[in-house]
Amino acid sequence: MRLELQAGPPPPPGSWSDRELELMRRCLRLARAAGRRGEVPVGALVERDGRVLGVGSNRVEVGQDASLHAELVALRAASHRVGGWRLDGATLYSTLEPCPMCAGAALLARVSQVVYGALDPRKGADMSAYDVLSNSSGNHHPLVSRGCLGQESGALLQAFFQRLRQ
Ligand SMILES: [Zn+2]
């Protein structure tokens, strides 16, 4: 059913580089840490030129702030680290398809690539519910890679929401 979170389409074997898998595993660890704090388990980071510029996990509950999504936390940390809002050449990794807010922030920060795990049928802004990332109008659009460790990310989210319902 449409409201259920689902893992992204499984990529063909070997389609992810060791580096991409390593960084997405780090995002998964950030997501699990968020889950242990009672947050929806989503983790993200920003990498450029082999350096991780910022990491983030979902902090909406602890901060009581709807904008504290993992991706936005990571983008803010990266901008702070580089001392500027432009993140050209950077890649945003997230365990979940970014929502319209985070996808918009990634566009405005001019990140060059977005790599994510599970699809979010309710709020996903790549191809699920909105088309912020994939919309071809507008003059800057990142390359999007979907489904990196999507099964793991989706399973983590499903387990979290199952526990909430119990
Ligand atoms: Zn978001």
- Taking only the tens place, the pLDDT of each residue in 107-131 is 999 999 999 999 999 999 999 999 9
pLDDT at site 15: 87
Q: What is the mean pLDDT of the chain?
A: 91
User: What is the 102 CA–ligand 1 centroid distance (Å)?
Assistant: 4
Is the pLDDT score of 141 beyond 90? Answer: no
From the candidates 22, 71, 97, 152, give the one annotated as an active-site residue: 71
pLDDT value of position 97: 98
Share of the chain above pLDDT 70, in %: 89
Q: Exposed e or buried b for every residue in 16-34, given b needs 16+ CB within 10 A?
A: beeebeebbebbbebbeeb
Closest CA to 42 of 121, 143, 126, 150: 150
Residue 155: its pLDDT value, please? 97
Cα dihedral 20→117→151→147 (10° resolution):
-80
> What is the strand order of the sheet 113-118 is part of?
51-57, 43-48, 91-96, 113-118, 143-146
Locus of tokens 């992810």: 16
% of the chain exceeding 90 in pLDDT: 83
Kindly report the pTM of this predicted structure. 0.90
CA of 72 to the centre of ligand 1 (A): 7
Ligand 1 centroid from CA 100, angstroms: 7
Residue in the block written with tokens 């889950």:
35
3 state SS of 145: strand
Q: Give the pLDDT confidence score for residue 134 in this predicted structure.
A: 79
Q: Ligand 1 centroid vs 52 CA: distance in angstroms?
A: 20
For residue 18, the CA-to-ligand 1 centroid distance in Å is 26
The separation between the first and the last C-alpha atoms of the chain, rounded to the nearest angstrom, is 19
- 39, pLDDT greater than 70: yes
Other C-beta atoms closer than 10 Å to the C-beta of 38 total 11
**71 a catalytic residue:** yes
User: Measured in angstroms, how far is the CA atom of residue 26 from the centroid of ligand 1?
Assistant: 18
Query: In a 3-state reduction of DSSP, which class is residue 85?
Result: coil
Q: Lowest mean pLDDT of 28-37, 62-71, 156-165, name the range.
A: 156-165
The answer for residues whose C-beta is within 8 angstroms of residue 53's C-beta and 6 or more apart is: 46, 47, 77, 78, 81, 82, 87, 90
**If you ran DSSP here, which 8-state letter would residue 6 be given?**
B
pLDDT of residue 4: 43
Q: If you average pLDDT over residues 54-65, what whole number do you get? A: 97
| In the predicted structure, residue 5 carries a pLDDT above the cut 70 | no
